[in-house]
Amino acid sequence: MATACNPPPARPISASEHTGCPAAAPNPTGLRRSDAGTVGLRRCQHYAAGAVARIVPQEESGLVLKADGSWQHDGELATHQGVTRFFHQQIRKDDSGAFYLHNTIGTGDQGVTLEEHVYFEVEDTAYFVLRVDYRSAEAAFELELNTGERVVLDLSSLTQDELGHGYCRVLDGDDARFGRHAMTQLEPFLEAEGEDIYLRAGSHRVRFQARR
């Protein structure tokens, strides 16, 4: 089920907090902004000391992370590898569980860090496993995620959907979908028994549970 990731309502801020958040700030994402001068300033939300964030809700960004890990903007597939790689590496999650792209725009007149939080729709998962490395000494798998982070596979979290796509839990307990290359790297460790698929790691043999 698609998840629309929208931010919690921004609290009102004082005029002094607008200082250093220019109306014509650069737009490194290249995404649409409605009236970047007025709306952008009104949406500025003061986070940690010394940082001001411009909030772009999902319905304004028009950005969708598809189930296969590709990106769409206003219904069009993003094909530039540098752009899509940047999007994946900038994925963050807010306190409400909504996902956004984090950009550092620059520094304002008073040394305030200017940020942009671009919320997007998640069709399936925000995280993907790109590569798998097996540590034979530890009988463990190290996963490289689309965000660039590396985590150890939690064997107990393995699931698969009706189409045979594999998933596991990563980071804050969110699901990550195994990409095609990652599944190919897992193949030497997979065993089929009837309709069930098992992953063997040393003395451990774990079944992929049905994903709900």
Backbone φ and ψ for 191, nearest 5 degrees, come out as: -135, 135
Q: What is the pLDDT of residues 40-68, one digit of tens each?
A: 322 334 344 456 678 999 999 999 999 99
* Mean pLDDT of the chain, nearest integer: 80
Q: What span, in angstroms and rounded, lies between the C-alpha atoms of 117 and 101?
A: 6
Whether 97 shows a pLDDT value over 50: the answer reads yes
Q: What span, in angstroms and rounded, lies between the C-alpha atoms of 88 and 81?
A: 11
DSSP 151-189: EE--GGG-EE-TT--EEEEETTTEEEEEPHHHHHHHGGG
- Specify the amino acid at residue 146: N
More confident residue, 49 or 10: 49
| Ranges of each domain in the chain | 3-122, 127-210
Q: What span, in angstroms and rounded, lies between the C-alpha atoms of 130 and 37?
A: 39
Sequence-separated (6 or more) residues with CB below 8 Å from residue 83: 30, 71
Residue labelled with tokens 């700030």: 25
Q: What is the pLDDT of residues 127-166, one digit of tens each?
A: 999 999 999 988 999 999 999 999 999 999 999 999 999 9
Backbone φ and ψ for 28, nearest 5 degrees, come out as: -65, -20
pTM score of the predicted model: 0.75
Q: What span, in angstroms and rounded, lies between the C-alpha atoms of 156 and 206?
A: 7
Q: What span, in angstroms and rounded, lies between the C-alpha atoms of 57 and 36?
A: 13
